[in-house]
Amino acid sequence: MNPTLAIEPSVFYFGTPVALLTTLTPGDDTANITPISSAWALDDTYVLGLSNLGRAMCNLRENADLVINLPDSRLWESIEKIAATTGVADVPPGKREKYRYEPDKWALGGFTPQPSAVVLPPRIAECPVQMEARVTNMTPLNEEGDATIVHAKVLRTHVHRALAVPGTSHIDVDAWTPIYYTFRHYFSQGERVGVNFRAEQ
C-alpha cells in the first residue's frame, strides 16, 4: 500500500477542462466572457459552479441564455490575457487587489464573436467546441452565498470541422485537445492510456 499524508488543500483543482462562458450583459452590445473550470456534463445538462461576485452570474439571473465554449490548449495565452479581469464595472472589494474591470474581453483576448443559432450570446469563433445552452436551475453552493451551482441544458452543439468525424456526430478524439486547469496551471492532454468498453471509435 502507498503511504499517504492527510493534507488541507485550499482549493481542489485537481484538473478539469476550461470553459469560456459567453453571457449577455444587460444594456451592453457585446457579451461578456467568463473563464471557468468548474464545469461537467451529464446527459444534455452542464453543471457549472459560478461565483456570485462575477458578471456571468449577474447576467444569467437576467437572461438564461449562454454559450459554453471549450477552448483547446493553443488558446491558453488568450485565456490568460482576460484572466485578471471582470465584466463587473464596480469591482467587488474582495477582487480589487487582483482584478480590474474590462468591458471588452473580446478585444483583450483576441476573440471573435460568431452569431449563435438558438441563443442570444455569440459563440467564440476560436473555440473548437461551442455549446449553446439555457439555464434550467440554480442552487446556492453554500449558506455563505459565495457561489451558485447552475444547471444548463445544451440546445445546440457546434464544432470546428476538423474535430468532426465525417458523416457522424462523433468527435475525432485524436484531433481534440482540451485544456485542463490543474491547480491554476494549464495543461494539454497527454497520451491515450486506454479505451472504455463503450467507446464508439
Ligand X SMILES: Cc1cc2nc3c(=O)[nH]c(=O)nc-3n(C[C@H](O)[C@H](O)[C@H](O)COP(=O)(O)O)c2cc1C
**Is the Cβ–Cβ distance between 162 and 175 less than 8 Å?**
yes
Indicate whether 54 belongs to the interface with ligand X (CB under 6 A): yes
Q: What is the DSSP string of 153-173?
A: EEEEEEE-GGGBPTTSS-B-T
Q: Applying CB under 6 A, which of residues 83, 149, 163, 171 lies at the interface with ligand X?
A: 83
CB of residue 158 to ligand X, shortest distance in Å: 22
Indicate whether 87 belongs to the interface with ligand X (CB under 6 A): yes
From the CB of residue 164, how many other CB atoms can be counted at a distance below 10 Å? 15
Separation of alpha carbons 48 and 138, rounded Å: 10
Indicate whether 88 belongs to the interface with ligand X (CB under 6 A): yes
Residue type, position 44, single letter: D
For ligand X, the closer CB: 164 or 189: 189
Indicate whether 69 belongs to the interface with ligand X (CB under 6 A): no
Q: Applying CB under 6 A, which of residues 55, 60, 123, 158 lies at the interface with ligand X?
A: 55
For ligand X, the closer CB: 49 or 178: 49
Indicate whether 56 belongs to the interface with ligand X (CB under 6 A): yes
- In 3D space, the residue among 96, 73, 92 whose CA is nearest the CA of residue 178 turns out to be 73
Site string (108-147) toward ligand X, x via CB under 6 A? ----------------------------------------
Output DSSP code: residue 95: G
Residues whose CB is less than 8 angstroms from the CB of residue 89 and which lie 6 or more positions away in sequence, other chains included:
101, 103
Indicate whether 68 belongs to the interface with ligand X (CB under 6 A): no
